[in-house]
Structure 1
Amino acid sequence: MRAYQEEALEKILSFACDQIPAYRHLRSVVARFRPFDALQEFPLLDKETLQSDMSGYLPRDFDRIPHHECSTGGTSGNQLRFFLDDQSQSIEMAFMHLQWARVGYTPGCRKATFRGVEFRSVSDRIYWQPNPVYNELQFSPFHMNEATLDRYLHKLGQYRPRFIHGYPSAISLLADFITRNRLKTGIRLQLDAVLLASEGILPGQRELIEEAFSTRVYSWYGHSERVVLAGECEKSPAYHHFPDYGILEIIDDNGNVLQKEGEPGEIVGTGLINRSLPLIRYRTGDKARMLGHECACGRSFDRFDQVEGRWRQEFVIGKTGSRISLAALNMHGPLFDHIVRYQYYQKRAGELQLRVMVSSGFTALEKKALQEAYARKTGSELSVEVKTVEDIPLTSRGKLRRLVQNLQTGPSFSEI
């Protein structure tokens, strides 16, 4: 695997030096050093640098590479637009299926999902929709409360999935309901595993979910930019990085690569599967603790745990008292093309204001389209008003509050 990794890294570094303006001056470095040594001569790349000089990081043959535009999920309130090869989605899914196979998943397995997709036909009593493409039944995370969870549980009992997949915040809400009402409902699900995605797992949630569903929790680490992907194994909840997906580094506050097991630092990745915008030594902004390679599963991959960063769980309160994760509200793409910064503000349950700082190209039609997109997502449970503002102040530490709530009860301010 090391030989494959070296070869793949040499190709991506050579491609970058030949094609990308920001790296042309490093051509002699790549020619002179072995790939992993050459990599250390490349500068660290952060989101702000990429945003301010995107043209400097696009390859000369950009238009010849089949690609599509993407954006980050906007957890910082400031989205990054970038590009991925068209084939990268199928490669990504292959890696996902490979790691899910560690807990018995195959593409033919029946799955129930709790994620923030668009729900077009949710009614007062039906909070799910089929998705035959992925052989799954999608459950709305926007309508989960004490009055509706019984219907969710009964539908799960009828559907009989082998796996549940979704946000820890939504699934733990259902797990808590099951724990409190197990004797009343009599419903027993036969699950192979619960697959948790898109949010960090809070203390106690893993144990709560495993006890409620009588199965193991499986989680993984990844992001839209596709430079690092790591999943748990059969024996450990530590994240095992896929060496053929990207190159993982963990650095200290001074940018030095950490070598000692147990040291905390920032996750840095170099992607191996995307040429339309190769990200080399890309700073993810996420913190983790580096672990040794040895594991009882037998894989000698780079490992880490204790991830902190973009995965925090934050909630807004719906009309019926449902706790709606910001991960479920997450939206990105062309709708945010002219939005510089945004922030959620909630004063009353069931009502949410999206405050946006916009560029000169923002139109009334874009504002209307954004508001309609949120309405399609949340239905009657949450009314979202889009409001343009001149400024969204940062905290004294220069951080952006993604959510500000002035409710009498509910979550307090959370900083990103």
Structure 2
Amino acid sequence: MIIKEIAKKSPYFIQRPIRSIYGIIPYYKKLGKIFKNTYDFLGKSQYWNKEQLEQYQVEQLKNLLVHSYNNVPYYCKLFNECGFNVEKFKYLDDIDKIPFLTKDLVMKNTKDLMAKNFKKSDFIYSSTGGTTGKQMRFFTQKNFSASREWAFMITQWSRIGFDYKNSRRIILRNQVLPKGRLWIWDNCQRSLVVDTYHLTDENIKKIIDRLNYEKNPYIHTYPSAVAIICDYIKRTGYGLTYDLKGVLASSENIYVGQRELIESTLNTRMFSWYGHSEQCILAGECERSNKYHIFSEYGYTELIDNKGNVIRDNGIKGELVGTSFNNYVMPFIRYKTEDYACYSQDQNCKCGRNYKLLDSVEGRWLQEMIITSKGNKISITAMNMHSDIFDNVKNFQFYQDTPGVCIINIVKKSSYTVKDENVIYRELSKKLGNDVILKFNYVNNIERTKGGKYRFLIQKIKT
């Protein structure tokens, strides 16, 4: 793990030999026991009957609730105030008595949400991407949260043939590559990492040539990024010369017609899933349909209406609320995600799994695009920053009305200084590159739409 951290933080000329050496170690050995145990467990539990899955959730919730009451100041106070007795918890719907956790509450009570029975070194800093204009910082559990998360991810990818020991990926997401490079080979992940910030026609042609050379069978991507490449292939007829096994798409809503474009152009299945940084809910498409299986072993998922009432009937849209089994250092219990979904009318799946099924998910990440001076598009999803650069910012929003120029509107906290502006400029400029000028505009508040919704990017350029 130390080698991996050095590789992440070092310049590319130092990273390259470190990654090459690290890549010699068999991938499955680098993943560790937590990953292996979770992965093996899911191989069996995903086919449990409904009673077994429910019993597992009751046991996991009981463990989490007892731990939280005994070790987390926020929950000790909350449970006492609402009269919730953790020792009497027996049924899933007993959790209805606990008030919801929101992003604002997490930000206001960060310290009190941290478990007292863990060492400081057990806490790993994390943050949300800021789609609501507020970037929330929180902590996950070292050597546990990420390992379990990856085991679940690989398990759902295996539905379309992905083998964690042998399969290779093409990654089209938000990695910032060394200047002048359109791709790098990452031995640590056995993946070809491709630049998504400079998808001009000229660069796309070069990227396609590289993909045809590498012949990696899976593309791990944002839907918007691979759609840009598919649009190029449709227009020019210049495409892949080998067969893909699947497109692994996440982090964005899938627009009408987009799945058809991607699947028909690349002649393969696009497999999507819903998850989020807080790791409370994970739901992935089934190999037998486009419905989403909610992992019962990952956490406890609820749907609520706009009055906070739990929705138990199928076909009714509500907000997703999650309780995570992946994080004991900073438990999230009944966390309101601000994402929406509905249970499928038909809860019987041909695959034989008994997980609860969602028809679709409406997430916060829309496929909004920043237009560069050269006319190519950068998905706003790729601007997602899981770091502390916005810690001294109340709200922020991107605005564009001129190709090649992007304004970031910022509502400052009292602790905000010139140093924050310099850091934000440096980190965002790494992603935007030389083809977009970033400008700062300080405002008192961020305007919302007529419907009261927040937009991460206000795009005024007609494309």
Q: State whether residues 74 and 109 of structure 2, in contact with CA within 8 Å, keep that contact through their aligned partners in structure 1.
A: no
Give, as a single letter, the amino acid of the residue that structure 1 aligns with 2:395: R
- Scaled by the length of structure 2, the TM-score of the pair is 0.83
Which secondary structure state, in structure 2, belongs to the residue aligned with residue 16 of structure 1? Answer: helix
Taking only the aligned residue pairs, the percentage that are identical comes to 35
Q: Which position in structure 2 is the counterpart of 1:329?
A: 383
More helix by share: 2
When residues 230 and 187 of structure 1 are mapped into structure 2, their CA distance, relative to the original with a 3 A threshold, is closer
Between the aligned partners of 1:115 and 1:167, the Cα distance in structure 2 is 6
Once the two structures are superposed, residues 185-220 of structure 1 have per-residue CA deviations (whole angstroms, 9 ceiling, x without a partner) of 364231110010111110111111111111101011
Between the aligned partners of 2:120 and 2:347, the Cα distance in structure 1 is 39
How big is the shift at 1:306?
Answer: 2.3
1:99 corresponds to which of 145, 149, 156: 156
Q: Which position in structure 2 is the counterpart of 1:81?
A: 137
Is 1:42 aligned to residue 94 of structure 2?
no
> Which residues of structure 1 form unaligned runs of 5+?
411-416
How big is the shift at 1:37?
Answer: 3.5
Between the aligned partners of 1:65 and 1:141, the Cα distance in structure 2 is 34
Between the aligned partners of 1:344 and 1:242, the Cα distance in structure 2 is 34
Between the aligned partners of 2:328 and 2:183, the Cα distance in structure 1 is 38
1:10 corresponds to which of 38, 62, 67: 62
Give, as a single letter, the amino acid of the residue that structure 1 aligns with 2:369: F
> Which residues of structure 2 form unaligned runs of 5+?
1-52
Once the two structures are superposed, residues 86-119 of structure 1 have per-residue CA deviations (whole angstroms, 9 ceiling, x without a partner) of 1211111111111111111123312111111111
Between the aligned partners of 1:19 and 1:318, the Cα distance in structure 2 is 50
When residues 272 and 256 of structure 1 are mapped into structure 2, their CA distance, relative to the original with a 3 A threshold, is same
Q: State whether residues 62 and 89 of structure 2, in contact with CA within 8 Å, keep that contact through their aligned partners in structure 1.
A: no
Is 1:356 aligned to residue 410 of structure 2?
yes
Give, as a single letter, the amino acid of the residue that structure 2 aligns with 1:246: G
Q: Name whichever of 127-136 and 203-212 sits farther off.
A: 127-136
- Scaled by the length of structure 1, the TM-score of the pair is 0.92
When residues 72 and 339 of structure 1 are mapped into structure 2, their CA distance, relative to the original with a 3 A threshold, is same
How big is the shift at 1:314?
Answer: 0.5
How big is the shift at 1:349?
Answer: 0.8
Which secondary structure state, in structure 2, belongs to the residue aligned with residue 227 of structure 1? Answer: coil
Aligned length: 404
Q: Which position in structure 2 is the counterpart of 1:414?
A: none
Which secondary structure state, in structure 1, belongs to the residue aligned with residue 139 of structure 2? Answer: strand
Q: State whether residues 17 and 27 of structure 1, in contact with CA within 8 Å, keep that contact through their aligned partners in structure 2.
A: no
Q: Which position in structure 2 is the counterpart of 1:136?
A: 191
Between the aligned partners of 2:419 and 2:74, the Cα distance in structure 1 is 37
How big is the shift at 1:397?
Answer: 4.5
When residues 186 and 346 of structure 1 are mapped into structure 2, their CA distance, relative to the original with a 3 A threshold, is closer
Between the aligned partners of 1:281 and 1:271, the Cα distance in structure 2 is 9
2:263 corresponds to which of 210, 235, 249: 210
Q: Which position in structure 2 is the counterpart of 1:286?
A: 339
Give, as a single letter, the amino acid of the residue that structure 2 aligns with 1:140: D
Matches within 5 A, 1:3-402: 3-24=55-76, 25=80, 29-63=85-119, 66-86=122-142, 87-107=144-164, 108-121=166-179, 123=180, 126-182=181-237, 185=238, 187-291=240-344, 292-402=346-456
Which secondary structure state, in structure 2, belongs to the residue aligned with residue 3 of structure 1? Answer: helix
Between the aligned partners of 1:128 and 1:385, the Cα distance in structure 2 is 28
Q: State whether residues 160 and 287 of structure 2, in contact with CA within 8 Å, keep that contact through their aligned partners in structure 1.
A: yes
When residues 113 and 244 of structure 1 are mapped into structure 2, their CA distance, relative to the original with a 3 A threshold, is same
Q: State whether residues 137 and 388 of structure 2, in contact with CA within 8 Å, keep that contact through their aligned partners in structure 1.
A: no
Between the aligned partners of 1:255 and 1:16, the Cα distance in structure 2 is 23
Q: Which position in structure 2 is the counterpart of 1:413?
A: none
Give, as a single letter, the amino acid of the residue that structure 2 aligns with 1:68: I
Q: Name whichever of 363-372 and 96-105 sits farther off.
A: 363-372
Q: Name whichever of 21-30 and 305-314 sits farther off.
A: 21-30
Q: Name whichever of 394-403 and 369-378 sits farther off.
A: 394-403
Q: State whether residues 240 and 266 of structure 2, in contact with CA within 8 Å, keep that contact through their aligned partners in structure 1.
A: no
Give, as a single letter, the amino acid of the residue that structure 1 aligns with 2:320: I
Q: State whether residues 189 and 213 of structure 1, in contact with CA within 8 Å, keep that contact through their aligned partners in structure 2.
A: no
Between the aligned partners of 2:198 and 2:247, the Cα distance in structure 1 is 20
